[in-house]
């Protein structure tokens, strides 16, 4: 009773709600209903209904234009997604405004802080260039996650779940409520485990989130901590068709290839309501990333010399061996990421003005060690033996201004301008034997990203919007090196920055029974950096520039309450995705003499060729039925069209279309259990046990013969067949 009384008193002396002040930290990057931006939104209630432990790519899978997959096929562990066919490294992702894309390679590894969805207040998926954000330009789109607002009401929630493939999830979280009129706390700890759908592809992840806030009449000072520790058996390589048909659980990593990664996020944010119409928010953050191991076996038949491993030749008796045998390597990382941003917002009458600054600095040591080898030269001590060592430095400074103006009661105008400068520097270290002789030029980029748009109200429930914007972004470290270290002299202009001009035209309906968003989009690219089908040793796509290309389509996001007990939703995307002219180089056999072959470089020019890994159709249809006030059921159908594995439009190296059905049940036990609010939920994925692969890569020789037959063949990353997960969540 004392806590509740303090809560009531604290709430009466504030001019803006504490929820609004807590969310003001991302006011500069989050889209609102007034803005002419194409986006989908998951609020806390929707997240709680959909989330069962499979990571964020699975959670957002039923929003338009998303295609997700996981390495081990289960959705728990390493999981990834594409938006409008654009891979995750080119989608800007933030948590509380903190950019979580690795600054060098732009990867996002949700498993490093798995179960963050349990602590999510909202997840916003912007498609297209959207509004200006922190970090790299939102090239294909952006994912903005806000962690839970601290509540004036105390609460404890316990969750436990079990599922197929040895999957389990245990989580405990609490809200302290308001204490001594000023203090609020939130905390969560989770453990997730799975053996994986594929053989020896398990994962064990521990994660946490903690927030503490001091609230005053017009301000909130908040500390956010979140992160995790993930240990995974590697399974990021696909399997060929024959293996897939015989046993799609097969994993080609059979030598104990595993990794471990730790990532911790620290954020201090302050929001001040200057006046009734002005708000100032500032945030400083530090992210620590560490890879204790990434075990990868280099087989002896590759013929790599001891010098590659920074070792002298092996001498056994009178024999000298220059070629090493099997070597189990361990890639290592030590990363430090520091940054801060400040946002000012003025809202009065017809005008909404926002301006912000963001700066960060990133340092990452990359090195490799040897765990064991079939033959180690005399005198080499494996402990702390470095195969190579290099450091990447990335710095960024950006600023934006946004104006939203109600020209009339029905016409709203929007303008957004971001200026961003960033730099990259590489420093290689010469070791005792292995040298780093290559020069990598220091790189600097300056980008200006403008956006304009308008929204027109058509009565009280409908509106149309239009937006035109430009996004530019720099290549990644992997785009330049295709490896973890420089393999040649590297100049900045070898790979060009990519640029997109984005047009969005949408129509929206918002009534008590119908929420409908339908939009057309055109994304016109210059020097788009695309995957070529193959992957490197780390599972990253080998990439390259293409000249002119486009992604154009239609998206629908519709929720219809047919009856208070029956809801229907449709999430659809239809697209046409093409490269106007593609110059593809192959090796071909010109002549042969017994076992001696002469290979020549062959250039094949493709015109209007389809972009790889971009299905032209993704369809989601769902029915939610609430027959009783304590029971809800959802049936979800999903279809994903064929995906080419490269950009040449060859159906022989493609991923077939697939479809499946998921089932969700939720039973509220409160009417039988008069303690707290227990909910039992049941998730059945792939109800019909369909065999399919949502992703893959190319293997074989990059060659072509006189008849146009390719030397490449597809590798498939399979998804699980029928599987389930049962969760009991109990709020007190």
Q: How far is residue 490 from each of residues 441, 444, 542, 656, measured CA to CA in Å?
A: 6, 14, 16, 38
* Cα Rg of the chain, angstroms: 26
Helix (H, G, I), strand (E, B) or coil at 125: strand
**CA dihedral for 698, 700, 702, 707, sign (positive or negative):** negative
Query: Distance (Å, rounded) from C-alpha 388 to C-alpha 386?
Result: 5
Evaluate if residue 538 carries a pLDDT over 90: no
Q: Which runs of consecutive H residues, i.e. helices, occur in 64-123? A: none
Least confident piece of the model among 19-23, 282-286, 303-307, 459-463: 19-23
**The token pair that represents 362 in the structure block:** 């990133």
Q: Which residues of 75-104 are buried (b: 16+ CB within 10 A; e: fewer)?
A: bbbbbbbbbbbbbbbbbbbbbbbbbbbbbb
Task: Give the C-alpha distances (Å, rounded to integers) separating 506 from 36, 464, 557, 558.
Answer: 8, 6, 11, 13
Residue 533 or residue 619, greater confidence: 619
> Tell me, what's the pLDDT at 16?
57
At residue 4, the pLDDT reads 32
Q: What is the DSSP string of 254-304?
A: -S--EEEEEEEEEEEEEEEEEETTEEEEEEEEEEEEEEEEEEEEE-GGG--
Q: Are 94 and 133 in contact (CB under 8 A)?
A: yes
Pairing mode, if any, of strands 411-428 and 443-458? Answer: antiparallel
Among candidate residues 230, 257, 381, 263, the one with its CA nearest the CA of residue 333:
263
Beta bridge partners of 579: 549, 609
How far apart CA 481 and CA 496 sit, in angstroms, is: 14
Sign of the Cα torsion 452, 456, 457, 461 reads negative
Is residue 28 pLDDT above 80, yes or no? no
Average pLDDT over residues 78-92: 94
Distance separating alpha carbons of residues 64 and 718, to the nearest angstrom: 22
**SS3 helix, strand, coil % of the chain, rounded to 5?**
10, 60, 30
- The token duo for 399 is 């600023």
CATH number for the domain including 722? 2.40.170.20
The per-residue pLDDT of the chain, averaged, comes to 92
Half-sphere exposure of 217 (CA within 13 A, CB side): 6
Average pLDDT for 498-513? 97
Dist. CA 521–CA 64, nearest whole Å: 12
Interval 14-37 mean pLDDT? 76
Report the C-alpha gap between 512 and 509 in whole angstroms.
10
When divided into structural domains, the chain yields a total of 1
In sequence order, which residues have a C-beta less than 8 Å from that of residue 180 and are 6 or more positions away?
Answer: 6
Residue 227 pLDDT: 96
- Cα–Cα dist 41/50, whole Å: 13
The residue among 334, 353, 351 whose CA lies nearest residue 343 is 353
Is residue 534 over pLDDT 80? yes
User: Taking residues 508-520, what's their average pLDDT?
Assistant: 97
pLDDT for the residue numbered 595 = 59
**153 against 4, higher pLDDT:** 153
Confidence (pLDDT) at 590: 66
Tens digits of residue pLDDT in 342-382: 999 999 889 999 999 999 999 999 999 999 999 999 889 88
Q: Is the per-residue pLDDT at 129 higher than 70?
A: yes
In contact, 650 and 644? CB cutoff 8 Å: yes
Give dist(CA 597, CA 590) in Å, integer. 8
Task: Find the range with the poorest average confidence among 252-261, 523-532, 703-712.
Answer: 703-712
Could you read off the pLDDT of 196-215 as tens digits, one per residue?
999 999 999 999 999 999 99
Q: Which two tokens stand for residue 106?
A: 């732009």
Q: What is the pLDDT of residue 318?
A: 86
Does 110 have pLDDT greater than 80?
A: yes
Condensed to tens digits (0 to 9), the pLDDT of residues 473-497 reads 999 999 999 999 999 999 999 999 9
pTM attached to this predicted model: 0.92
* Structural domain harbouring 343: 2-731
In the structure, what pLDDT confidence band is assigned to residue 386 with cuts at 50, 70 and 90? Answer: very high
Per-residue confidence (pLDDT) for residue 17, from 0 to 100: 72
Residue 197 near residue 72, CB atoms below 8 Å: yes
State CA 115 to chain mean position distance.
14
Q: What is the DSSP letter of 239?
A: B
Range with the poorest average pLDDT among 166-170, 551-555, 669-673, 701-705: 701-705
- Calpha distance 263→292 (Å, rounded): 11
First to last CA, the chain: 16
Proportion of the chain above pLDDT 70, given as a percent: 96
- Of 249, 252, 286, the C-alpha closest to 268 is 286
Residue 499 confidence (pLDDT) above 80: yes
Distance CA 571, CA 119 (A): 25
Distance, in Å, from the CA atom of 216 to the CA atom of 183, rounded to the nearest integer, reads 9
Residue 7 above 50 pLDDT? Answer: no
Give the pLDDT score at 171: 97
Q: Is the pLDDT of residue 552 over 60?
A: yes
């Amino acid at each position: 009773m004392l806590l509740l009384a303090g809560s009531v008193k604290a709430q009466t002396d504030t001019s803006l709600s504490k929820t609004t002040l807590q969310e003001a930290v991302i006011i500069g990057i989050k889209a609102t209903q007034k803005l002419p931006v194409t986006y989908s939104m998951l609020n806390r209630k929707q997240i709680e209904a959909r989330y069962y432990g499979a990571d964020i790519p699975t959670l957002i899978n039923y929003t338009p234009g998303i295609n997700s997959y996981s390495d081990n096929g289960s959705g728990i562990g390493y999981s990834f997604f594409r938006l409008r066919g654009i891979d995750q490294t080119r989608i800007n992702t933030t948590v509380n405004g903190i950019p979580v894309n690795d600054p060098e390679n732009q990867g996002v590894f949700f498993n490093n802080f798995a179960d963050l969805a349990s602590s999510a207040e909202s997840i916003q998926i912007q498609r297209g260039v959207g509004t200006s954000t922190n970090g790299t330009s939102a090239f294909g789109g952006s994912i903005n996650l806000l962690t839970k607002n601290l509540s004036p009401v105390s609460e404890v929630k316990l969750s436990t779940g079990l599922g197929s493939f040895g999957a389990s999830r245990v989580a405990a979280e609490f809200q302290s409520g308001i204490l001594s009129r000023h203090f609020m706390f939130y905390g969560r700890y989770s453990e997730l485990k799975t053996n994986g759908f594929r053989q020896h592809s398990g994962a064990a992840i521990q994660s946490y989130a903690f927030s503490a806030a001091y609230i005053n009449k017009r301000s909130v000072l908040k500390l956010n901590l979140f992160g995790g520790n993930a240990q995974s058996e590697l399974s990021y390589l696909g399997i060929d068709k024959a293996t897939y048909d015989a046993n799609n659980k097969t994993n080609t990593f059979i030598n104990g290839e595993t990794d471990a990664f730790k990532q911790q996020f620290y954020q201090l944010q302050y929001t001040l309501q200057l006046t009734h119409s002005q708000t100032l928010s500032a945030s400083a953050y530090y992210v620590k990333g560490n890879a204790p191991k990434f075990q990868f076996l280099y087989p002896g038949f590759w013929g790599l010399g001891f010098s590659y491993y920074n070792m002298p030749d092996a001498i056994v008796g009178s024999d000298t061996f220059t070629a090493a045998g099997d070597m189990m390597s361990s890639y290592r990382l030590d990363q430090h990421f520091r940054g801060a941003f400040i946002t000012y917002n003025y809202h009065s009458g017809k005008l909404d003005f926002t301006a912000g600054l963001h700066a960060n600095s990133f340092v990452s040591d990359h090195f490799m060690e040897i765990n064991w080898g079939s033959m180690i030269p005399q005198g080499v001590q494996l402990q702390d033996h470095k195969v190579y060592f290099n450091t990447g430095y990335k710095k960024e400074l950006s600023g934006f201004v946004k104006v939203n103006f109600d020209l009339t009661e029905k016409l709203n105008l929007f303008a957004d301008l971001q200026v961003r400068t960033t730099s990259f520097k590489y420093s290689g270290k010469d070791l005792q034997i292995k040298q780093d002789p290559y020069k990598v030029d220091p790189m600097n980029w300056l980008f200006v990203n403008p956006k304009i748009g308008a929204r027109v109200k058509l009565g009280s429930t409908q509106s149309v919007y239009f937006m035109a914007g430009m996004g530019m972004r720099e290549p990644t470290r992997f785009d330049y090196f295709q490896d973890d270290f420089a393999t040649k002299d590297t100049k900045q202009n070898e790979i060009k920055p990519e640029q997109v001009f984005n047009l969005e035209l949408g129509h929206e309906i918002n009534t008590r029974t119908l929420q409908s968003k339908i939009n057309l989009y055109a994304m016109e690219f210059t020097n788009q950096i695309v995957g070529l089908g193959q992957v490197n040793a780390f599972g990253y796509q080998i990439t390259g520039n293409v000249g002119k290309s486009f992604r154009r389509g239609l998206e629908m996001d519709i929720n219809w309450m047919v009856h208070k007990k029956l809801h229907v939703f449709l999430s659809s995307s239809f697209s046409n995705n093409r490269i106007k002219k593609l110059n593809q180089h192959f090796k071909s056999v010109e002549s042969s003499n017994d076992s001696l072959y002469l290979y020549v470089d062959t250039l094949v020019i493709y015109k209007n060729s389809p972009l790889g890994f971009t299905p032209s159709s993704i369809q989601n249809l769902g029915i939610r039925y609430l027959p009783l006030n304590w029971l809800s059921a959802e049936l979800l159908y999903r279809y994903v069209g064929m995906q080419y594995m490269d950009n040449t439009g060859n159906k022989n190296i493609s991923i077939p279309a697939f479809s499946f059905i998921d089932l969700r049940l939720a039973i509220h036990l409160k009417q039988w259990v008069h303690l707290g609010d227990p909910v039992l939920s049941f998730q059945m994925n792939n109800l019909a046990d369909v065999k399919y692969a949502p992703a893959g890569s190319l293997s074989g020789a990059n060659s072509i013969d006189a008849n146009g037959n390719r030397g490449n063949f597809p590798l498939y990353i399979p998804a699980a067949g029928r599987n389930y997960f049962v969760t009991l969540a109990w709020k007190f």
